């Protein structure tokens, strides 16, 4: 490995140590760990000849001026937050490798005819509040203040958490960037799938990006005793959910460029002898994802919408 690569790996290892959970990498939005990671990244940015700051939503932004100050910037970067028990290359690689590139320019005292900005987005994953892409939304000027009332697992609102972390929930608009300040955005990211490796390709170029539609479905059946309610009289919401899950799978299997996942299910009351299935209220999250370049949004809408009549049909057949 080159010195360049070794330094990138060493920095990724250092960032991976900044975690809320020992032995696992978990770094969520508006936490102490996030602040520590931001400090660490800003230190590297400054050492690479950049100015560095944190904006109102917690994005870390480094800037390397071009041949004259104030030129529009090529933006590089990725996210610095993680999911729970994350991999150490997801997100961080895009930030750390970009800093290494600027460091190299700086070492050779090279200035380009444009500025370079490196951004470490404060939230991409949405792992804490269930609302994702907070950092990039704020930067794009599309942050919806409604999400400030979302609560994390311990009941803290995003607004409170941001204030406690020294961020500015009332000043999020100040994080938005004007179109003419930026030339383009380029992100290096690990492939979160098996395709490149299976084809022995070191790198791929993204031609379209994954979008998601998420549905949350509650099916309400009727509770009853597992031993005494005859099969013909059951309104079994859990069994109905199983059918609906399979319907999503086959709907997506029929269409190239579309994937679908049911990632969560909850059965209530959840007692084996009290026919858990009888009063099941499964929480059903589905992400239907399209890879089609341009009709992707329409495609997502139509396939997301296609799921509903199928669920209603299955539920109706069971009286749920
Ligand atoms: Zn990522």
The predicted-structure confidence for 38-71, as pLDDT tens digits, reads as follows: 999 999 999 999 999 999 999 999 999 999 999 9
**pLDDT reported for residue 67:** 98
Instruction: Calculate how far, in angstroms, residue 205's C-alpha sits from the geometric centre of ligand 1.
Output: 16
Lookup: tokens for 34: 């996030």
pLDDT in tens, 107-140: 999 999 999 999 999 999 999 998 999 999 999 9
Distance CA 10, CA 22 (A): 19
For the cut 70, the answer to whether the pLDDT of residue 143 exceeds it is yes
Tell me, in angstroms, the distance from the centre of ligand 1 to residue 274's CA. 42
320 alpha carbon – ligand 1 mean position (Å): 38
Q: Which phi-psi region, left, alpha or beta, contains residue 114 (left: φ > 0; alpha: ψ -120 to 50)? A: beta
Contacts of 208 by beta carbon, 8 Å cutoff, 6+ apart: 291, 292, 293, 294, 296
Q: For the chain, list the domains and their CATH numbers.
A: 3-198 (3.40.630.10), 211-317 (3.30.70.360)
- Sign of the Cα pseudo-torsion (228, 232, 233, 234, in order): positive
Q: How far apart are CA 286 and CA 56, in angstroms?
A: 32
CA of 85 to the centre of ligand 1 (A): 13
Q: How far is the CA of 89 from the centre of ligand 1 (A)?
A: 8
Decide: helix, strand or coil at residue 214. Answer: strand
Chain centre distance of CA 276: 33
Question: How many angstroms does the Cα of residue 189 sit away from the middle of ligand 1?
Answer: 7
In the beta sheet, which residues pair with residue 116? 64, 74
Residue 239 CA to ligand 1 centre (angstroms): 35
What's the whole-number mean pLDDT along residues 266-270?
78
Q: Hunting for tokens 């104030």 — which residue is that?
A: 70
Tell me how far the alpha carbon of residue 234 is from its chain's centroid. Answer: 40
Compute the distance from residue 222 Cα to the ligand 1 centre, in Å.
41
Residues with Cβ within 8 Å of residue 50, at least 6 apart in sequence: 62, 63, 64, 99, 102, 106, 118
Query: How many angstroms separate the alpha carbon of residue 79 from the centre of ligand 1?
Result: 6
**Helices 32-47 and 92-107, packing angle to 10 deg:** 20
Which residues are close to ligand 1, an ion, with C-beta < 5 A?
90-91
For residue 301, what pLDDT is reported? 60
Question: Residue 278 above 60 pLDDT?
Answer: no
Q: Per-residue confidence at 299, pLDDT binned at 50, 70, 90?
A: low
3-state percent helix, strand, coil for the chain, nearest multiple of 5: 35, 15, 45
φ, ψ of residue 147 to 5 degrees: the values are -70, -15
Query: How many Å apart are CA 70 and CA 51, to the nearest integer?
Result: 12
Asked if 288 and 250 count as a contact pair (C-beta separation under 8 A), the reply is no
């Amino acid at each position: 490995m080159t010195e360049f690569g070794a330094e990138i790996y060493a920095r990724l290892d250092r960032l991976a140590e900044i975690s809320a959970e020992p032995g696992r990498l978990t770094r969520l939005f508006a936490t102490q760990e996030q602040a520590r990671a931001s400090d660490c990244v800003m230190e590297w940015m400054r050492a690479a000849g950049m100015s560095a700051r944190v904006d109102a939503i917690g994005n870390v932004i480094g800037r390397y001026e071009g041949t004259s100050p104030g030129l529009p910037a090529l933006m590089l970067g990725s996210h610095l937050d993680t999911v729970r028990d994350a991999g150490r290359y997801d997100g961080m690689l895009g930030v750390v490798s970009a800093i290494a590139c600027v460091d190299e320019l700086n070492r050779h005292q090279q200035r380009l005819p444009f500025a370079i900005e490196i951004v470490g987005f404060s939230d991409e994953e949405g792992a804490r509040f269930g609302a994702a892409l907070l950092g990039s939304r704020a930067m794009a000027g599309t942050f919806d203040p409604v999400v400030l009332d979302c609560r994390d697992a311990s009941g803290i609102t995003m607004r409170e958490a941001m204030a406690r972390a020294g961020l500015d929930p009332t000043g999020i608009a100040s994080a938005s960037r004007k179109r003419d300040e930026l030339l383009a955005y380029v992100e290096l990211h690990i492939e979160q799938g098996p395709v490149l490796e299976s084809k022995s390709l070191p790198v791929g170029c993204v031609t379209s990006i994954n979008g998601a539609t998420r549905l949350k479905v509650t099916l309400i059946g009727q509770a009853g005793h597992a031993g005494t309610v005859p099969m013909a009289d059951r309104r079994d919401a859990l069994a109905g959910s199983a059918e609906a899950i399979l319907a999503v799978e086959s709907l997506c299997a029929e269409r190239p460029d579309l994937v679908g996942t049911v990632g969560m299910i909850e059965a209530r009351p959840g007692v084996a002898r009290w026919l858990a299935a009888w009063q099941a209220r499964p929480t059903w999250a589905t992400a239907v994802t399209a890879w089609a370049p341009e009709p992707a949004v329409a495609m997502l809408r139509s396939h997301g919408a296609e799921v509903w009549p199928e669920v209603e049909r299955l539920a109706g057949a069971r009286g749920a």
